[in-house]
Structure 1
Amino acid sequence: MAANEDQEMELEALRSIYEGDECFKELGPTVFQYRVGDIGELKAFLIEISWPETYPETAPNISMNAFFNNQISQALKQDIIDKLQEQVEANLGTSMTYTLFEYAKDNKEELMEKHQPFSNTITLIGSDGTVEATNANQPNKKKEKKEQLTKAQKRKLADKTDHKGELPRGWNWVDVIKHLSKTGSTEDD
């Protein structure tokens, strides 16, 4: 059987197996991605497998360079690829994309055990020499002081606004005719 026939059969099988699986993505007829773990999970990662012309007689290309993996160190990405390559060697000559994705899913904890998320700590040094460390993922929560209004000020504000708390259109417009008559200037002068 020719390599292209094998690829077509595997493509049909992958489509039927992963139909409706939001973790699987077909980027093209020979390029596939699978997300292992849930979005937002620290140990989640994405594998991309692409088939060369002579696949499955030759090994598929395995990549972890997707932006999704930006929190994973290059060394750990290489470790995962190396373990997947062991699976490739054991399955060379057969359709193996499903096998590789399932191996990654079944061994996620083992593959990601060395994962240390990058630290997003920012150190701030004040002008007085004080040092403060903050996490870049968590915004600095400073309570804003709200302006305190008296009851009379609140009533006056409520009288000016509509039921949504918005000022009516033109509330700050100047009546030109009244303005001109107050200043005493007319066009006849």
Structure 2
Amino acid sequence: MAANEDQEMELEALRSIYEGDDCFKEISPVSFQFRIGDLDDTKAFLIDITWPETYPETGPQLSLDTFFNNRISADTKQAIRSKLEEQVEVNLGTAMMYTLFEWAKENQEALMEDHKPMVTTVTLTPSSEVKVPVSAAKKKEKKLQLTKAQKKRMISRTDNKGELPRGWNWVDVIKLSKTGGRDEE
């Protein structure tokens, strides 16, 4: 079989296996993304795989450089990539995408054992070095201003502690009975 026929057969199999699975995404007929782990899991990562023309005789191109993986350190990414490439070497010449995805899911803990979530830090410079325009500083200090009418309405609705009185949104039962809430006999 030609490489393209193998690719078409594997593509059909992947589409049928991962239909409706939000972890699998087909970007093009030769490019895929597969998420290992849940979205809210700190140890989740996304594998980006592209098939060369001679796939499966040559291994796919693996990448972990997606935005989803920005909290993973470069060392952890390199370790995951090298372990996945070992699996590619073992399965060379066969349809290996399903095998790679399942192997990565089963070994997620081992792949992410050295992972420590990266936190992006922001360094602040001392105020003597930063010149803030006076108009910008005044805008930041500006507080919400209420008109007298707005203040009076707010005070009339609340008690002395600024809270709405008990029952402010209750419905008057007597008024309901006069309007014919039920059929009267």
TM-score, shorter chain, exceeding 0.5: yes
**Aligned positions of 1:140-159 closer than 5 A:** 153-155=151-153
Q: 1:75 offset after TM fit, Å?
A: 1.2
- Between the aligned partners of 2:97 and 2:4, the Cα distance in structure 1 is 15
Q: Which amino acid aligns with 1:154?
A: K
Is 1:80 the counterpart of 2:80? The answer is yes
SS in 1 for 2:62: strand
Per-residue deviation, residues 105-130 of structure 1 (Å, max 9, x unmatched): 11111101111111345566888xxx
Q: Which has the higher contact order (CA 8 A, sep 6+)?
A: 2
Is 1:59 the counterpart of 2:53? The answer is no
Aligned partner of 2:134 in structure 1 is: none
**Aligned positions of 1:48-127 closer than 5 A:** 48-122=48-122
| Structure showing the higher strand proportion among its residues | 1
Percent of aligned positions with the same letter in both sequences?
A: 64
Do the aligned residues in 1 keep the contact of 2:71 with 2:119 (CA within 8 Å)?
no
- Between the aligned partners of 2:60 and 2:25, the Cα distance in structure 1 is 16
SS in 1 for 2:68: helix
- Between the aligned partners of 2:97 and 2:119, the Cα distance in structure 1 is 33
Mark the runs of 5 or more structure 2 residues left unpaired by the alignment: 128-142, 146-150, 158-185
- Between the aligned partners of 1:108 and 1:39, the Cα distance in structure 2 is 14
Q: CA RMSD in A?
A: 2.8
Question: Would the alpha carbon gap of residues 156 and 51 (structure 1) be closer, same or farther in structure 2, given more than 3 Å must change?
Answer: closer
SS in 1 for 2:57: coil
Question: Would the alpha carbon gap of residues 7 and 156 (structure 1) be closer, same or farther in structure 2, given more than 3 Å must change?
Answer: closer
Aligned partner of 2:167 in structure 1 is: none
Q: Which amino acid aligns with 1:32?
A: F
Count of residue pairs brought into register by the alignment:
141
- Between the aligned partners of 1:123 and 1:156, the Cα distance in structure 2 is 42
Aligned partner of 2:25 in structure 1 is: 25
Question: Would the alpha carbon gap of residues 65 and 126 (structure 1) be closer, same or farther in structure 2, given more than 3 Å must change?
Answer: closer
SS in 2 for 1:87: helix
SS in 1 for 2:109: helix
Per-residue deviation, residues 69-110 of structure 1 (Å, max 9, x unmatched): 001111111100100011011100000011111111111111
Q: Which amino acid aligns with 1:17?
A: I
